[in-house]
Amino acid sequence: MSFLNSSDELRYRSYYTRSFDHFYAEESVAEHPAVLRAREVAPDIPFEMLRSREEVPAEHRRARTLLAVGGRGNAVGRCPGTRGHICCNYLTVDLYTGCNLGCSYCIMQSYLNFSPITVRIDTQDSVARLGHIARLNAGRLVRAGTGETGDSLWLDPLFNISAEILEGIREYPNLVLELKTKTDFVDHLLGKVDPAQVVFGFSLNPTQFAEVEEPATVPPALRLAAAERSVQAGYRVAFHFDPIVRSAATAEAYAQLCTELGRFPSEQIAWISMGTIRYPKELRDALPDRPYLLDEFVPARDGKYRYLQRDRVELYRAMLKQLRAVTSAPVYLCMESDVVWRRVFGGEPQELPELRRLFEDLEVPSVGEAQ
Amino acid sequence: MSRLSNSVFSVSPAALLSGASTFDIFHRTSGVCVGTERLRRGLYAPFPVIGHPGQGAVTLVWGFAAVREAAAAGLETLNCIGIPDSHASALEIALEFEQRPGEFSPAEQYALWRLLKAAEPVASDVVTRIGSLLGSSGAAFQARMRRFESLPNAVRQAVLNESIDLKTAERCRALPEECLLRLSEPSYRDAGLSFSNTRQLLTLLREIWLRDGLAPADCLMLLDGALADSDPVAYLRRRRYPELVKREQRFEELRRETTAGSGVELSAPPYFEGDSFELRCRFSSRAELIRRRDALLEIEDRFDEFLELL
Ligand code: SF4
């Protein structure tokens, strides 16, 4: 097992065996190196090959089932920015659908009641499309991420897909892949992938909140420790305060988390994002009754429910001040309105020299346009 | 209706009404209205019954309202027709007579469900047909009834008397029983809340109860306070969204103080999301224009107070 060291082998073998009861793979990818690797890492998960995903037995359509699928074709899109809000100008690569880390605010909770965790094994088309976009935008920074519909690194020590993508995009220096996670599963990549093209992104929330609301994730302190290992190995990291949840208990804890970022050299923090908790109305019923959801939310211009604008601005300003005291890394807002941007930063991202490069307009051709 | 036997016989309304009332479950005005005059002239389809007067009591399967009407009008006999002694097919026939898919009340549906459950094993095609006569599918009907049966008693009662719908009931099932019982009491029905207002009211109540960790007695007091108010939903909204309501009230005050009587319409962005207020006015005389201008100057004087809201 070349890509894991022996202590990681033990750790991940037991971790994934505890996480899954069944492992299915579609015939078309059953012999794919990524699937073979996964079977080697966790040989105790009962494995079965299927002609197609429809054959997963009804009683196994749940989060404790892992399903590797083929399905070439486009999995690269733009980050789903919303009406009237400024999107973070990001390309998304859909590798994973589902996650059972159990964050109470995540819509995956309702999705998972009837679906296995699905991994799109074949990344060739996605790599080709990323390459095409990178060529079209030569000279501009193209940011892509795999953490839109699942955690980028949660299953990576099993399939090692990120390394494959990174290998595929090596010839496009303006393309950066962010691996966004609530785990500390970075060690299998450190020293093995090119630091110029990868950013390890860690979502951060206060420990007390994470313990209750992100129960199966790796505790924030360990995520920070993984960030430190990444930095020491010469990689850049990113931090995402998202979702920011306010309460009497969390205010102080966020301040402390911001302070902790001071131990990272600014030049090795690629970016930091902030986004207060939000949800579309139709998903409210699917979310459990958690105390933080009983705060005051109002529909913003994109229809998503957020804290009152004035309260969001206050939260962001306070956090920005704490961050500015310890780092000069670029800080941006995730899915916020132009008004909030102006109130917090004094301008929209393209008007701010430190953010202009991250928010440069990208040319993203529609699928099927000549590559 | 091939399940009806061919021979029509006469039975007195009194005999029909004194038989078992098992199938007397439809309480909304029937889609098929017979009317006394037609009953008198015999212009109606024979009433379906189980049994035959020559062999003992008969059980009326459908038409209780019409038979009562006939009894009150003093009619001596009504035409009846025998059907097989099976609850499931009797229900199917009764529904065919009702002819109002999609309009059965929760109480009617539940009575029907209980009869079906008590009946001999019911073939799935019968459930499917019954579902479609009710205006949905057999599976949807069964699922709805099972959801209903999983509710606590007090909530079920509120659904049966149509104070709340099933979805709201499910959402609010965990509220203290005292509050749920209130939903079936006259004081609640007297408040005359629509389904949608009820849904909002209970959602607000539930969220306040959870957020503030109210004791059952306090939760009931809150509900009663709301029901005694002229606008129960607004009453609870003030408690659920204090910041938003405070801003709305402050804006109202400012609007009144700066523009009342001036002919200037001033509005804030929805939910105070955004950075601009909207002004609208028309004028057709110098005097009007001066009034509008004075209002604008007033707004300008208090500009910071407006801005505070966004
Ligand atoms: S880690 Fe991400 S994808 Fe997984 S449950 Fe949490 S929020 Fe959802």
**Identity of the residue in A289, A294, A298 whose CB atom sits nearest the CB atom of B271:** A298
Is A285 a domain residue?
yes
Residue in A closest to B170 by C-alpha: A285
**Minimal CA–CA distance to B220: which of B244, B228, B308?**
B228
* Ligand 1 atom showing the smallest separation from residue A98 Cα: 3
Is B161 a domain residue?
no
Query: Is A84 exposed, middle or buried, given 0-12, 13-18 or 19+ CB atoms closer than 10 A?
Result: middle
| Interacting residues of B74 by C-beta distance below 8 A, sequence separation 6+ | none
Instruction: For residue range A89-111, list pLDDT tens digits in order.
Output: 789 998 998 888 989 998 776 66
The minimum CA-CA distance between A339 and chain B, rounded to whole Å, is 6
Is A22 a domain residue?
no
CA-based torsion, A310, A315, A316, A322: positive or negative: positive
Tokens in use for A349? 């991202």
Is B186 a domain residue?
yes
Distance CA B270, CA A253 (A): 32
Testing ligand 1's pocket by substitution, the residue of A94, A104, A107, A108 carrying the most ligand atoms inside 8 A of its CB is A108
Shared-domain flag, residues B49 and B110:
yes
Kindly report the pTM of this predicted structure: 0.84
Distance CA B225, CA B223 (A): 5
**Is the CB of A153 inside a 6 Å radius of any atom of ligand 1?**
no
Strands of the sheet containing A279-280, edge to edge, are A279-280, A304-306, A298-299
Is A369 a domain residue?
no
Check whether B41 has a pLDDT greater than 50.
yes
Chain A positions in Cβ-Cβ contact with residue B270 (cut-off 8 Å) = 299
Is A28 a domain residue?
no
Domain harbouring A153, CATH code: 3.80.30.30
Up-side HSE of residue A81: CA atoms within 13 Å toward CB?
16
**Which of B271, B272, B277 to mutate against chain A (most A CBs within 10 Å)?**
B271
Up-side HSE of residue B55: CA atoms within 13 Å toward CB?
8
Domain extent, residue A201, equals: 61-351
**Identity of the residue in A291, A301, A310 whose CB atom sits nearest the CB atom of B310:** A310
Residue in A closest to B239 by C-alpha: A296
Distance CA A208, CA A57 (A): 38
Residue nearest atom 3 of ligand 1, based on CA coordinates? A150
**Is the CB of A99 inside a 6 Å radius of any atom of ligand 1?**
yes
Is A357 a domain residue?
no
For residue B215, how far is its CA from the centre of ligand 1 (angstroms)? Answer: 34
Tokens in use for A199? 């950013």
**Identity of the residue in A296, A301, A310 whose CB atom sits nearest the CB atom of B241:** A296
Residue in B closest to A289 by C-alpha: B210
How many structural domains is chain A composed of? 1
* Ligand 1 atom showing the smallest separation from residue A182 Cα: 1
Last residue of a domain, one of B240, B272, B291: B240
Residue in A closest to B209 by C-alpha: A294
Distance CA B183, CA A227 (A): 55
Is B157 a domain residue?
no
Is B48 a domain residue?
yes
**Among the listed ranges A17-26, A76-85, B242-251, B272-281, which one has the minimum average pLDDT value?**
A76-85
Distance CA A48, CA A44 (A): 12
Is B27 a domain residue?
yes
**Is the CB of A242 inside a 6 Å radius of any atom of ligand 1?**
no
Shared-domain flag, residues B26 and B139:
yes
Residue B67 contacts residue B13 (beta carbons within 8 Å): yes
The radius of gyration of chain B's CA atoms, rounded to the nearest angstrom, is: 30
**What's residue B1's pLDDT?**
43
Is B164 a domain residue?
no
Digitized pLDDT (tens) for each residue of chain A, 371 residues in all:
568 888 899 999 999 999 999 999 999 999 999 999 999 999 999 999 999 899 999 999 999 999 999 876 677 888 766 667 887 778 999 899 888 898 999 877 666 667 899 999 998 989 999 999 999 999 999 999 998 788 999 999 999 999 999 999 999 999 999 999 999 999 999 999 999 999 999 999 999 999 999 999 999 999 999 999 999 999 999 999 999 999 888 889 999 999 999 999 999 999 999 999 999 887 777 777 888 999 999 999 988 999 999 999 999 999 999 999 999 999 999 999 999 999 999 999 989 999 999 988 888 887 666 55
**Among the listed ranges A49-58, B130-139, B268-277, which one has the minimum average pLDDT value?**
B130-139
How many structural domains is chain B composed of? 3
**Is the CB of A169 inside a 6 Å radius of any atom of ligand 1?**
no
Distance CA A146, CA A261 (A): 24
Residue in A closest to B171 by C-alpha: A285
Is A216 a domain residue?
yes
For residue A203, how far is its CA from the centre of ligand 1 (angstroms)? Answer: 10
Instruction: For residue range B70-123, list pLDDT tens digits in order.
Output: 999 999 999 999 998 888 888 889 998 888 888 899 999 999 988 888 876 777
Pairwise CB contact (< 8 Å): B244 & A289: no
**Identity of the residue in B210, B240, B273 whose CB atom sits nearest the CB atom of A300:** B273
Is B156 a domain residue?
no
Given the structure tokens 């009008």, which residue do they identify? B73
Is A359 a domain residue?
no
Question: Backbone dihedral region of B51: left (phi > 0), alpha (psi from -120 to 50 degrees) or beta?
Answer: left
Pairwise CB contact (< 8 Å): A308 & B211: no
Residues of B with CB under 8 A from a CB of A: 171, 207, 210-211, 240-244, 247, 270-275, 309-310
For residue A101, how far is its CA from the centre of ligand 1 (angstroms)? Answer: 6
Given the structure tokens 């393309």, which residue do they identify? A175
Q: What is the value of ipTM here, to two decimals?
A: 0.86
For residue B120, how far is its CA from the centre of ligand 1 (angstroms)? Answer: 49
Q: Residue A241 is inside which H or E element, if any? A: strand A236-244
The minimum CA-CA distance between B272 and chain A, rounded to whole Å, is 7
- Helices B87-98 and B124-134: angle between axes, nearest 10 degrees: 20
Pairwise CB contact (< 8 Å): A289 & B171: no
Q: How many CB pairs under 8 A join A and B?
A: 46
Shared-domain flag, residues B118 and B224:
no
Shared-domain flag, residues B121 and B25:
yes
Distance CA A92, CA B39 (A): 72
Shared-domain flag, residues B30 and B141:
yes
**Identity of the residue in B241, B244, B273 whose CB atom sits nearest the CB atom of A337:** B273
Distance CA A334, CA B290 (A): 46
**Is the CB of A106 inside a 6 Å radius of any atom of ligand 1?**
yes
Residue A299, amino acid: P
- Residue B269, preceding peptide bond in cis (omega within 30° of 0): no
Residue A306 contacts residue A276 (beta carbons within 8 Å): yes
Is A132 a domain residue?
yes
The minimum CA-CA distance between A344 and chain B, rounded to whole Å, is 13
Distance CA B209, CA B65 (A): 44
Residue nearest atom 6 of ligand 1, based on CA coordinates? A103
Domain extent, residue B300, equals: 244-307
The minimum CA-CA distance between B253 and chain A, rounded to whole Å, is 19
For residue A99, how far is its CA from the centre of ligand 1 (angstroms)? Answer: 6
* Ligand 1 atom showing the smallest separation from residue A181 Cα: 1
Residue nearest atom 7 of ligand 1, based on CA coordinates? A106
**Is the CB of A151 inside a 6 Å radius of any atom of ligand 1?**
yes
For residue A219, how far is its CA from the centre of ligand 1 (angstroms)? Answer: 13
Shared-domain flag, residues B193 and B213:
yes
**Which of B205, B273, B304, B307 to mutate against chain A (most A CBs within 10 Å)?**
B273
Shared-domain flag, residues B70 and B186:
no
Shared-domain flag, residues B234 and B249:
no
Is B154 a domain residue?
no
CB atoms under 10 Å from CB of B7, counted, come to 10
